[in-house]
Amino acid sequence: MVGSLFHPGTHPDLQAWPEGRMSAMSPDVVAGIMEGLGGYDFAGAFWGAGVPIRAINGDLWPTNVEPNRTVSPGFDAVIMTGAGHYPMLERPGEFNRHLVEIVKDLEPR
């Protein structure tokens, strides 16, 4: 499963950390997480957030910006080309630059 969270060719050492963390989790905890995700109301969470929602995502899976804006009009995302589920591990410098820019943009003027 961990391999599917990364683009093909990602260095195995980079995949080892999340794989180790996932493998160390109690099966009961994992089952609870998966059950909770299945019924989680993401749209309701977006509506109820009360703050602008921003994402920094890899391009391994599409980020559907426009549909997300139907439940959070101010939604925006930075897409990191060539990154997977863990862009903060794959390219931390680039991720941190994007994060700083997002926070600065959200600061009151």
Q: Are 58 and 85 in contact (CB under 8 A)?
A: yes
Secondary structure (DSSP) of 29-84: HHHHHHHHHHT--HHHHHHH--S--EEEEESSS---HHHHHHH-TT-EEEEETT--
pLDDT (tens digit per residue) in 48-76: 888 999 999 999 999 999 999 999 999 99
Say if CB 55 and CB 33 are below 8 A apart: no
Find the CATH number of the domain harbouring 33: 3.40.50.1820
Specify the pTM: 0.84
> pLDDT per residue over 23-50, tens digit each?
999 999 999 999 999 889 988 998 888 8
Q: What is the tally of structural domains in the chain? A: 1
